[in-house]
Amino acid sequence: MIVILFGAPGSGKGTQAQRVAVTTDTPHVSTGAILRGEVARGSELGREAKPIMESGALVPDELMVRMIESRLAEPDAERGVILDGFPRTVPQAEALDRMLGRNQREVGLVLYLEVDPELIRERVLRRAAIDGRSDDNPDALAERMRVYQRDTAPVVEYYERAGTRIGRIDGSPPIDQVTEQILAVLGAEPAR
């Protein structure tokens, strides 16, 4: 199944996607992680994306759609994937639907991690102190939250209108409890 893990920056979607991917043995496709890899390798895409990511803005849809299209064409994605960080705009969601439709596939579930904005701010600023991600500074975070409200939040409404199954998850409790809620929605057994 194609599952989208959706939520604001700092909602914990990366952490949860990783855990759910391991428990359900499904590939975790994180556009943020792929982009950071490209930046680290100094590829053409990485050089283009770096200043955009550092400012908190979004990398152009066209580049992201191409990146996802080639990732979903890999053999391990045939069983399904956990998408983390994509789609982040309505045009990306539309492009994803078109690309899946060509292969008689569709988005099976949107997991929407809901977290209070104040808690998000605390988490991201704490993460900045720990991993030193260059876009986790207060200015870039404020921009990422604005971009999220303006461009990304409407993606949930897009899937509501499309009649896609949406699982709303309370993302504020401790990590394990959030994972349990997600696995319950997926109907999967927690890992022992």
CA 128 vs CA 17, 31, 33, 92, 115: distances in Å: 20, 19, 16, 28, 18
Collapsing DSSP to helix, strand or coil, 34 comes out as: helix
- The interface mask with ligand ADP, positions 101-140, x = CB under 6 A, is ----------------------------------x-----
The token pair at 68 is 């996802």
Q: Decide: is 85 part of the binding site for ligand ADP (CB under 6 A).
A: yes
C-beta separation of 170 from 7 below 8 A: no
- Report if residue 31 touches ligand ADP, rule: CB under 6 A: yes
Task: For residue 148, report the phi and psi dihedrals to the nearest 5 degrees.
Answer: -60, -50
Q: How far is the CB of 187 from ligand ADP (least distance, A)?
A: 26
Name the nearest CA neighbour of 84 among 11, 156, 150, 28: 28
Cβ–Cβ under 8 Å, residues 86 and 68: yes
CA 93/CA 24 separation, integer angstroms:
24
Q: Does 32 bind ligand ADP (CB under 6 A)?
A: yes
Q: Report the residue from 6, 86, 112, 159 that binds ligand ADP according to the rule CB under 6 A.
A: 86
Span near ligand ADP by CB under 6 A; candidates 52-60, 110-118, 155-163, 178-186: 52-60
Question: How far is the C-alpha of 42 from the C-alpha of 36, rounded, in Å?
Answer: 10
Would you give the binding string for ligand ADP spanning residues 133-172, x where CB under 6 A is met?
--x--------x----------------------------
Q: How far is the CB of 176 from ligand ADP (least distance, A)?
A: 20
12 binds ligand ADP (CB under 6 A): no
Residues in contact with ligand ADP by the rule CB under 6 A: 9-10, 31-32, 35, 52-53, 56-59, 64, 85-86, 88, 92, 135, 144
